Structure 1
Amino acid sequence: MRPSFVTLSIAAAVAALPGTPLGYERALLKRALEQRTDGNSSTASCLGDVAETATAPYTNVWAQISAEDNRAVWDFVHDPALGLNLTDPEEATQTDNYVYFIDTVPVNKTDVLAYKAGGPPPPKYARVILFQGGKADPDSQEYMVGPLPVSTTTTIQPLDYLYNGGQGGRVPFNARVFDGPRSAATEPLIAETMSSIADITAALFQGSVYYGSEDERTNLSATSGTPQSFDGTQSFRSILFRLPGVASYLTPIDFYLLIDCTGTDSSLYFLKGFVTKERFFETEVELRAAFDAGELVQDYQQTLDADWALVNHKDDMGQRDLEDRFAPSSIELGGKRYKVDPEAQYIEYMGFTFYLSFSRTTGISIHDVKYKGDTVLFELSLQEALAQYGGNQPKAANTVYHDTYYSLGTDMGTLLEGYDCPFGSTFWNVSYHEANTTVTNTDSICIFEHDMNFPLARHRTGGGSSDYGFANLGVVKGAALTVRAIATIGNYDYMFDYSFHLDGSIEVAVRASGYLQSSPYYANQTSWGPRIHDATMGSLHDHIINYKADFDIVGVNNSLQVSELVVANVTQPWFPELGTFEQMKMNVSYKAEEEQFDWAPNNQAMYVVLNKNETNKWDQPRGYRIVPGRSDIHLSIANSPWSRDNAAFVKSHLAVTQQHDNEPFSNSIQNVNLPWAPQQDFAEFFDGESVDDTDLVVWFNLGMHHFTRAEDVPVTLYSEAYASIVFAPQNFNDQAQDGDLLNRRWIVPNKTATGEYVLEFENYGVPLPTCAVQFSEPVLGIEVDVTT
């Protein structure tokens, strides 16, 4: 069905409007709001229809393998002649060999640079993880299959070169992803144990029992986090029980089951114990004795009605005045000012050009960023989203999440126009491979230009006049292009933004909204978080999001300059009466070797990635400054047994390393279960190599120390859980990058012979637009009319 129209008609008759320039602008806005038509207007759409088409200068070499290649690789590895003895994952148990997933081997930078210099396209390889439970020494092994497309020259070989932990792409069975078959193997022990104490849980928790996940009598849900091993020699689960439902993260009960599930023989799995009332019971006999003695009566009972935890309108909270009106929206009044090549995932905007790519594990990445033809970044990509919890309970104390472990990219779902992204955004799908098929998540990336809600530049010159309050006024409109995706990973919706600003700066931001992973409430545990409902405590935790920025500032040879503000005690002969006094001055140095480091106290240091061999007009080395934004943090704890050696990448604000093709990632997707013997040890990246005048990579962390609160119910709010960083030109140009922008106003009041003022108003050929706004609201995939 065709949507209705709301038309904003903006006239350009400047002479007809009296008053000051500010009055002129306000009058135009007032007229725009008053003029609404019946939908038959022939004016252009304010939403700009579709973006104009660009043509990518070369093939997107970072793109994932195609659906056709995925199917061919699937058939290749299942060929009996290859001898891998693979079972269909739908039929597999943990003692079988089967494909966990197929993705894409990251392309080598050296190959890309050679291709851009006129060489052949880089070869394409599939990244295949096989779970090999049927081997004498069961494990998980990554393989590379290629070159693609599959042909007589295609081979399979271990994908070992990406990892430095000593076993290459191999992960011991006990540390591999705890997938469906492994969970199924532990279910009989869990069901048997909980069934035998159903009378206890029913008495303590309002009739709550667990007889197994498929048993109709069960009215509890079981959950366990990671890690589930320390070094791959053992495996365990710390299981928390919750009331089921869409908001189960907020309805835990105070009952934990600890089991050992080492190895592939589930008959050897055993109970480690129970935890409730802050007490550990090694056996059912001990638990039952305490229950019979009346020692386990709960102080707080979890609510059975979870409506309070739903993200819906709460009638009991009433309604704010005027909230029945539609909220303000950002729209592209003048039409889209960016161009795209959807097939190549290539974008052009106001001097910027760049490519996108997608991975099932890390989501979207940005590649080959240029500003006005000069290279800035070879790669800007998410590496990991880590969360570590604290608490005096097994689940909270034990929990460290690495979200790539859950294939973060596959959780980038459909975005709602007008709410997740502005009306009129450009939407792209993402696709990933599952077994021998390819899954497409529709409208999972949005691209939009938006008002910054502040001018890019502004200044009034000279003194004011009594009639107008100012003399000359120059103001430049602020705008940016944002690429956005939102990944719903279990209980959190992470919003990932990459924004390109008119001045040449690039901003990376992340926001978190969603259900807290909560714990049962105890009055004596407030150091782990506050009470947020009847029997629920918000568990204290850190969110740390790790990124990679492979800078190529006008070439690959770069350096990291540090300009530190220090206190200098000086004397100056023109101030003899002051003697020695303090001044600030700048000590400039360069990072010599690979290093992890933190932001300087009080932000009294500037970090610039620059090219010593390329200078601007003023003979200054061209570079980009790394500007801390909001909440640039690192992990609060450094020596937890749950993140001891597999999380070095989140234990500093920043790091700089020399670029190597065999160090494309700071982490590995199966590292979370190897905190004592990591597959990928980021600390090993720092081996004394030079980062001066060479190809370097900056790694940085954003995130939130989540001091949980009642306002996290029902969900954490994006407005508060927000972190950002900016890369800003630092002598990259010869002057500020606003002089070539036409979206500006220059206003000069000139006094006539009669003493009156005449306003000279220059719009540089960009008048306020005349356009129509077209809205539609999708409901279950169906467009319906919204009459405004």
Structure 2
Amino acid sequence: MRCFCLLLLALGVCEAARGREWAHHGASMFADLTPREMCDFRDYLQGKPELGLTAARGKSLKKNSILLMELHLPRKHEALMALDRGQDKPTRQARVVVQFGTQAQPNITEIIVSPLPFPTSYRRKTFKGDRPIRFESRPITVAEYSHIIDILQKITAKVHKVLFETTGGFSFHNCTDRCLTFSDIAPRGLESGERRTWIMLQKFVEGYFIHPVGFEVLVNHKELDPECWTSNTRTDIHGPKLLEPQGPRYHVDGNFVEYAGWSFAFRVRSSAGLQIFDLRFNGERIAYELAPDIDCPEIATFLDLHHYYDTDKPVLTSRGCYNFFGGLENHVLVLRTTSTVYNYDYIWDFLFYQNGVMESRVSATGYIHATVFTPNGLYYGSKVYNYVLGNLHTHVIHYKVDLDIADEFCSINLLVKTQHQTERSAAFRFGKKFPRYMHFYNKWGHQKGYHANSVLPRGWREENGISWSRYPLAVTRHKDSEPTSSSIYNQNDPWEPVVSFEDYIRNNENITNQDLVAWVTVGFLHVPHSEDIPNTATPGNAVGFFPRPFNFLRRGPLSGIPQYRHRPARQRGQTQDGPQRS
């Protein structure tokens, strides 16, 4: 879920014409597709018989349908020609993700459709290295979730009594106000090509993420036919068994037992339990009475017992031998949007200060994703409530900062004048010494520039999908073929990602006087604590960075702002209120 707002906090009066001179004709290039445009693209594609597209709604997974549609940004040099030189704006295009489920080899294909307002052509979009998109890496659709609910209905029906009794009357089906819901966990499997998801049940109350019930099931939903889905729990595998190849080695005669030199008599007392009498070894008495607990393995001999307690006749208890276990007014323009990523809500802010400083900030709030507490769980989290374990986790965000300082040809160096001329040298790993001050400058050296302050002071195979997280800062040459550091498929297939940020710096290109892009990684470790219940608060859980002007302006911008207050120094013989009297 997303919402969007634009906040203007006590912004002073400015000259409207001056602010619009450069942007009156260019902003529309970056505007999202309108509903009308989306419908035009949809109708065009559904009219192509070779695609065989059908409606996305409906429970069938064997279909060709549109999964996603959004604006495809124009090439950067085309946009700059329109913005800076007044040339015609490039045509508007759409990026469309299509799932082909009816083919012999189901696949996900991205296509670029153009132009508007009358689409006439489409082409396949490729990724770096022409990597294919695995069908198993696609996001889950409403139709697939509906089938997951169906299989959960069948599974929970078999354990309804257990769930009902252990959760205080909650149920997954046929419920009214005491219902169970579920969360699914990604990545979906252990290697590329799998689509197996852990489903965990939770009480469907406010903040259900912190109300797990401890029931989890692994569902294999790789097949397009939901009837072929399995819970991946084999029922034909039996546990270990004790064998008696030559028959029992013990002898039972009523309440008298003999075994390998041992002999004893026993009883099961209604008020005290099992008792042993006249315990002997090799005929010699060891004890007269014992009252231990006892395990009853599968091959044990079970005896019926009779008790007379609060009844009018003896009551038979079958198989009785059994145990159970259990200076300036801080006026700031704020561009804000929010996004809900499962249990967390993120507030994304871009702040524009009047002194030329920009701030990019993200704050995390919402519910922690909790599991049922067990003692071993303390290795991976903290107990935050009764029977609730808050799992250790990190929030890591990757920003793409395409810096054009005066023009698009920039370089990067440190204040100690160490110039980084290649992509590999300008990729700084976590855990290594990181420069405190980064300076991006243009071809004239240090005349104009911006520097980036990073707030945030490998491996296992899943890390391939987030290789960008290795670097607090990486600088690459701008390429239209490298628009993002990840993709919508990486979460479900991080092992062989379609987009891998490491590929962007592998060729180690020269970055001197080039069009540069800074990739900034910020984040924080979240150790859950009791104050995270019921919600994680945003204070203390926000990170970001500041692009600040560095020799970019001829003078400080504050003096040109009407609200700027300057008080001259008092001359000798004057007080704050005027001349001093003798």
Q: Do these two structures clear the TM 0.5 threshold for a shared fold by scoring above it?
A: yes
Alignment of 1:261-660 (within 5 A): 261-273=221-233, 294-295=324-325, 297=326, 455=327, 476-563=328-415, 586=416, 588-594=418-424, 595-598=426-429, 605-613=436-444, 620-629=446-455, 632=456, 638-641=458-461, 643-660=462-479
Query: C-alpha displacement at 1:715, in angstroms?
Result: 0.7
Query: C-alpha displacement at 1:108, in angstroms?
Result: 1.1
Bigger mean CA offset, 197-206 vs 537-546:
197-206
Query: C-alpha displacement at 1:503, in angstroms?
Result: 2.2
Query: C-alpha displacement at 1:197, in angstroms?
Result: 2.3
Residue 757 of structure 1 pairs with residue 575 of structure 2:
yes
Query: C-alpha displacement at 1:552, in angstroms?
Result: 0.5
- Distance (Å, rounded) in 2 between the aligned partners of 1:259 and 1:139: 21
In the alignment, is the contact (CA less than 8 A) between 1:612 and 1:622 conserved in 2? no
In the alignment, is the contact (CA less than 8 A) between 1:548 and 1:698 conserved in 2? yes
Distance 1:132 1:216, change over 3 A: farther
Q: Deviations over 1:291-337 (max 9, x none)?
A: x9744x4xxxxxxxxxxxxxxxxxxxxxxxxxxxxxxxxxxxxxxxx
- Distance (Å, rounded) in 1 between the aligned partners of 2:176 and 2:205: 15
Distance 1:523 1:283, change over 3 A: farther
Report the AA paired with residue 188 of structure 2: Q
Aligned partner of 2:212 in structure 1 is: 252
Query: C-alpha displacement at 1:683, in angstroms?
Result: 0.8
Please give the secondary structure, in 2, of the residue aligned with 1:609: strand
- Distance (Å, rounded) in 1 between the aligned partners of 2:57 and 2:211: 32
Please give the secondary structure, in 2, of the residue aligned with 1:504: coil
- Distance (Å, rounded) in 2 between the aligned partners of 1:115 and 1:500: 25
In the alignment, is the contact (CA less than 8 A) between 1:546 and 1:699 conserved in 2? yes
Query: C-alpha displacement at 1:207, in angstroms?
Result: 3.7
Please give the secondary structure, in 2, of the residue aligned with 1:554: coil
Distance 1:592 1:172, change over 3 A: closer
Query: C-alpha displacement at 1:202, in angstroms?
Result: 3.1
Q: Deviations over 1:619-648 (max 9, x none)?
A: x4321111234xx26xxxx2334x331111
Q: Which has the larger radius of gyration?
A: 2
Distance 1:283 1:498, change over 3 A: farther
Aligned counterpart for 2:80 among listed residues 113, 119, 135: 113
Aligned counterpart for 1:179 among listed residues 125, 138, 141: 141
Aligned partner of 1:470 in structure 2 is: none
Distance 1:740 1:249, change over 3 A: same
Residue 702 of structure 1 pairs with residue 554 of structure 2:
no
Please give the secondary structure, in 2, of the residue aligned with 1:733: coil
Query: C-alpha displacement at 1:284, in angstroms?
Result: 9.9
Q: Deviations over 1:633-671 (max 9, x none)?
A: 6xxxx2334x33111112221111110011111111122
Please give the secondary structure, in 1, of the residue aligned with 2:24: coil
- Distance (Å, rounded) in 2 between the aligned partners of 1:727 and 1:507: 6
Query: C-alpha displacement at 1:147, in angstroms?
Result: 1.4
Aligned partner of 1:202 in structure 2 is: 164
Count of residues in correspondence between the two structures: 484
Aligned counterpart for 1:745 among listed residues 566, 569, 572: 566
- Distance (Å, rounded) in 1 between the aligned partners of 2:324 and 2:124: 58
Distance 1:141 1:599, change over 3 A: closer
Query: C-alpha displacement at 1:536, in angstroms?
Result: 0.9
Q: TM-score, normalized by length of structure 2? A: 0.76
Aligned partner of 2:4 in structure 1 is: none
In the alignment, is the contact (CA less than 8 A) between 2:57 and 2:143 conserved in 1? no
- Distance (Å, rounded) in 1 between the aligned partners of 2:459 and 2:176: 43
In the alignment, is the contact (CA less than 8 A) between 1:556 and 1:695 conserved in 2? yes
- Distance (Å, rounded) in 2 between the aligned partners of 1:49 and 1:709: 46
Report the AA paired with residue 234 of structure 1: E
In the alignment, is the contact (CA less than 8 A) between 1:646 and 1:678 conserved in 2? yes
Query: C-alpha displacement at 1:487, in angstroms?
Result: 2.0
- Distance (Å, rounded) in 2 between the aligned partners of 1:738 and 1:47: 13
Give RMSD over aligned pairs: 3.1
- Distance (Å, rounded) in 2 between the aligned partners of 1:50 and 1:184: 53
Distance 1:106 1:760, change over 3 A: farther
Q: Deviations over 1:690-720 (max 9, x none)?
A: 1111111000112221011111111111111
Distance 1:66 1:524, change over 3 A: closer
Alignment of 1:666-681 (within 5 A): 666-681=485-500
Distance 1:497 1:728, change over 3 A: same
Distance 1:114 1:748, change over 3 A: closer
Counting aligned pairs with the same residue, the percent is 21
Q: Deviations over 1:248-287 (max 9, x none)?
A: 01100112101222221223222223xxxxxxx977987x
- Distance (Å, rounded) in 1 between the aligned partners of 2:452 and 2:429: 12
Report the AA paired with residue 566 of structure 2: R
Report the AA paired with residue 389 of structure 2: M
Distance 1:610 1:49, change over 3 A: closer
Please give the secondary structure, in 1, of the residue aligned with 2:418: strand
Distance 1:728 1:271, change over 3 A: same
In the alignment, is the contact (CA less than 8 A) between 2:436 and 2:453 conserved in 1? no
Aligned partner of 2:302 in structure 1 is: none
- Distance (Å, rounded) in 1 between the aligned partners of 2:452 and 2:81: 28
Residue 220 of structure 1 pairs with residue 46 of structure 2:
no
- Distance (Å, rounded) in 2 between the aligned partners of 1:588 and 1:73: 50
- Distance (Å, rounded) in 2 between the aligned partners of 1:660 and 1:227: 29
Report the AA paired with residue 745 of structure 1: H
In the alignment, is the contact (CA less than 8 A) between 2:169 and 2:178 conserved in 1? no
Residue 155 of structure 1 pairs with residue 121 of structure 2:
yes
Distance 1:150 1:526, change over 3 A: same
Aligned partner of 1:133 in structure 2 is: 101
Please give the secondary structure, in 2, of the residue aligned with 1:671: coil
In the alignment, is the contact (CA less than 8 A) between 2:430 and 2:470 conserved in 1? no
Report the AA paired with residue 443 of structure 2: K
Aligned partner of 1:88 in structure 2 is: 55
Q: Deviations over 1:27-72 (max 9, x none)?
A: xxxxxxxxxxxxxxxxxxx899999686333232111222222111
Please give the secondary structure, in 2, of the residue aligned with 1:644: helix
Distance 1:284 1:711, change over 3 A: farther
Please give the secondary structure, in 1, of the residue aligned with 2:522: strand
In the alignment, is the contact (CA less than 8 A) between 2:178 and 2:204 conserved in 1? no
Aligned partner of 2:536 in structure 1 is: 716
In the alignment, is the contact (CA less than 8 A) between 2:198 and 2:218 conserved in 1? yes
Distance 1:294 1:597, change over 3 A: farther
Alignment of 1:46-65 (within 5 A): 55=20, 56-60=23-27, 61-65=29-33
Aligned partner of 1:42 in structure 2 is: none
